[in-house]
Structures are given as C-alpha cells and as structure tokens.
C-alpha cells in the first residue's frame, strides 16, 4: 500500500480544486450525509463542476448494507466508470462507507477523503481502512484501500457540537498513549471544553502523524498497527451493546471508556504505571461521563469482545501498554481477568 497522501490546509476548497486538477477522471461523484450536505458541502461545493451529489442518512446506525447499495446504485445509474472519482466529505461513517463503496465498485475507483469531524480527521480517514457494520458489529465487512488524498481543514471543526469534538479527542488521547508522555500530558492540559482552534490544529497534526507512522510501517495490521486498537476491544463491545439496547453512544466515547478498562488491564498484566492509569481514567470520567451497565451484562460484553478482529482461536487478545509509548501486542486475557476489569471500571467510573 502506498504512503497516504495527507494535506493540512486552511482552505479546503482550494486544496480540493488542486486535487481534482491533478486526478484525471471522467465523472465526479460527491458522497455526503444529510448533516454534512447542509453544513460542510457548501464550503467547498463551488470547487466542483458537474458533480453528482449522493447523500445518505447521518449516523453510524446507517453505516449499513442498505446505504452501501444506495451508493453503488447511484454510481451505476450516474454512469460511473473505472476512471470516475468520488469525494467523501463527512465524518468517519461517510469516509468508511464511501471508501468501501469506491474500493469495490467496478473492482475499485479512486476517491478523496475530506474529513469534517475530529474523529474522522485523526482516525477514520487516514490509514486505508474502509468498511460497514453488519449484524450490530462494528466494521465487520471492509477493505484496505488508501484515498488518493486526504484533505484536512480544521475549520470544519467549528461546525461540530461539543460531544462530537470530544469523541474525536479520545482517539487523539489513544495516539498519545502509544506515542510519547509529552503528548499525553499536553492533551490532558488542553481545554477541550473551550478549545483554542489554532492550538487544536497543531495537536491534530501531531496525532495524524502518529497514525500515519504506524500504518506506513504496518499497512494491513500484521503487527505494529494493532497498537491502534488500544481501548477498542472493550470500546467496540460498549458501542455494540449500546446499539443493541437502542441507546447508541459516539465511537470516541466508547473508546475512552474502553481505555479505562484496558489501561487497568495493562496495570495488571504488563506493569503499566498505576498513577498514569488513574490520571487518565479521572480525565476520561470528567470529560466523557460514564457508560453504565450492571454485572448482568458481563457475559454479553464478553461475547461481543470475542468478535474482535485481533482474536485467534477463540482467545480474546488485547493491545496493552507497559508504559506510555511501550506497546505490548497480542495479550490474551482470561474471562476472569476481563470480568475483574469490568468490576474496576464500574467502581472507578461510578457505573
């Protein structure tokens, strides 16, 4: 897989215009969701001439085969060929689903990602993972396929509500934990409730660079890239349970709560510093609140964790830390250890 081309800019329209000029194509399709069609697409729409706009419903619960088929059908009825180009403008749901649709239509057409949420800037739009949810499970079906270019303009973040801003910040916190203590401390100091967007742009660039470095070394998750799953084995289980119970939570919130669990497990299994775990857990509780569940849900959460893609032979594997920046991959945990971890979470977070 080629190294991901990422452009940081303060003028997304100008950057997109240049990207379109450099990317030969016969037809242009633009994928948005119902929210970004109103808030974000108008900021760059004048750049595109004779584009065909495809819009899907907003929200991760629409990251489904129905939405995927709608995009495929729109490409087909719009006369898309293998020389056509799709621009995905939106959050992680749009870039994941749009990338998957583009990577499979006619065995693959090119696409450009313009992430408009903090989560999609630092996570979903970078690294070549595409996919949809299936049967209540996150990203159960997908491909590895890089966008032609990722255009990141933090001006879009001013369109975000506070919850979605904090959702993306959780992935930045994860990147800091697998990278450098200085980055971790800087994120804990930053006021995400009253953000300075100039400072945030710098933090985003640092966070994206962590992910780019990891995925460049291990593009298809055979080794180091598994470090990006810190917090996600439990986080995806929380997210899937919330969908099952009809009370969906934002991905970043689920990852933040997953970090509390997996840093505790890191303390128990790989000697992660207890004080750093407690500081991080306190920050997460203050910033994200608590996902509440009782012990009757432990079996269901355990079953959901068995679907994690890092697992092998029915054994639940975690990506843990022995210290900030020191990753321990393929850490198998027993059911008893996982239940103990959930006990700690509920006690620490007041769940």
- pLDDT by 10s per residue, the chain, length 351: 566 789 999 899 999 999 999 999 999 999 999 999 999 999 999 888 778 999 999 988 899 999 999 999 999 999 999 999 999 999 999 999 999 999 999 999 999 999 999 999 998 767 888 999 998 787 889 999 999 999 999 989 998 999 999 999 999 999 999 999 999 999 999 999 999 998 999 999 999 999 988 988 888 777 888 999 999 999 999 999 998 999 989 999 999 999 999 999 999 999 999 999 999 999 999 999 999 999 999 999 999 999 877 777 778 999 999 999 999 999 999 999 999 999 999 999 997
**CA–CA separation, 277 vs 283, rounded Å?**
10
What is the spatial distance between Cα 201 and Cα 157, in angstroms, rounded to a whole number?
Answer: 10
CA distance 193 to 332: 36
- Tokens 């289980």 locate to 237
pTM of the prediction? 0.87
Domains assigned to the chain = 6-159 (3.40.50.1970), 163-349 (1.20.1090.10)
Instruction: Identify which of 58, 67, 71, 140 has the alpha carbon closest to the alpha carbon of residue 102.
Output: 71
Token pair for residue 338?
């996982």
DSSP string, 20-63: HHHS--S-EEEEEEHHHHHHTGGGTGGG-SS-EEEEE-SSGGG-
Q: Which residues are catalytic?
A: 107, 129, 171, 211, 221, 225, 229, 232, 236, 251
Largest Cα span, the chain: 59
Quote the CA–CA distance of 98 and 92 in Å, as a whole number. Answer: 9
Tell me the two tokens of residue 173. 């916190």
Answer whether 345's CB lies under 8 Å from 257's CB: yes
The Cα 200–Cα 64 span in angstroms is 32
d(CA 66, CA 87): 20
How many angstroms separate the Cα of 236 from the Cα of each of 8, 37, 137, 204, 247?
A: 29, 28, 8, 23, 14
């Amino acid at each position: 897989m080629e190294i991901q081309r990422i452009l940081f800019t303060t003028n997304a329209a100008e950057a997109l215009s240049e990207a379109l000029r450099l990317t030969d194509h016969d037809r242009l399709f633009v994928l948005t969701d119902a929210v970004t069609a109103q808030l974000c697409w108008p900021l760059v729409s004048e750049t595109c001439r004779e584009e065909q706009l495809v819009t899907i419903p907003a929200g991760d619960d629409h990251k489904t085969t129905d939405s995927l088929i709608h995009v495929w059908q729109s490409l087909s009825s719009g006369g898309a060929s293998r020389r056509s180009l799709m621009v995905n403008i939106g959050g992680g749901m749009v870039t994941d689903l749009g990338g998957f649709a583009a990577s499979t239509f006619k065995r693959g057409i090119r696409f450009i990602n313009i992430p408009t949420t903090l989560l999609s800037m630092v996570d979903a739009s970078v690294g070549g993972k595409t996919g949809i949810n299936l049967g209540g499970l996150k990203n159960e079906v997908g491909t590895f396929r890089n966008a032609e270019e990722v255009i990141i303009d933090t001006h879009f973040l001013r369109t975000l509500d506070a919850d979605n801003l904090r959702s993306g910040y959780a992935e930045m916190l994860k990147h800091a934990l697998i990278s450098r203590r200085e980055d971790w401390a800087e994120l804990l100091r930053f006021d995400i409730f009253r953000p300075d967007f100039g400072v945030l742009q710098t933090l985003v660039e640092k966070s994206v660079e962590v992910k780019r470095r990891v995925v460049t070394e291990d593009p298809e998750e055979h080794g180091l890239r598994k470090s990006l799953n810190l917090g996600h084995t439990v986080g995806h289980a929380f997210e899937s349970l919330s969908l099952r119970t009809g009370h969906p939570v934002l991905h970043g919130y689920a990852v933040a709560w997953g970090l509390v669990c997996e840093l505790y497990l890191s303390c128990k299994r790989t000697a992660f510093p207890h004080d750093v775990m407690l500081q991080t857990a306190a920050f997460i509780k203050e910033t994200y609140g608590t996902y509440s569940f009782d012990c009757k849900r432990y079996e269901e959460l355990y079953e959901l964790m068995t679907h994690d893609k890092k697992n092998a032979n029915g054994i639940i594997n975690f990506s843990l830390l022995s210290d900030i920046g020191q990753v321990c991959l393929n850490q198998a945990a027993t059911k008893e250890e996982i239940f103990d971890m959930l006990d700690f979470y509920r006690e620490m977070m007041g769940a």
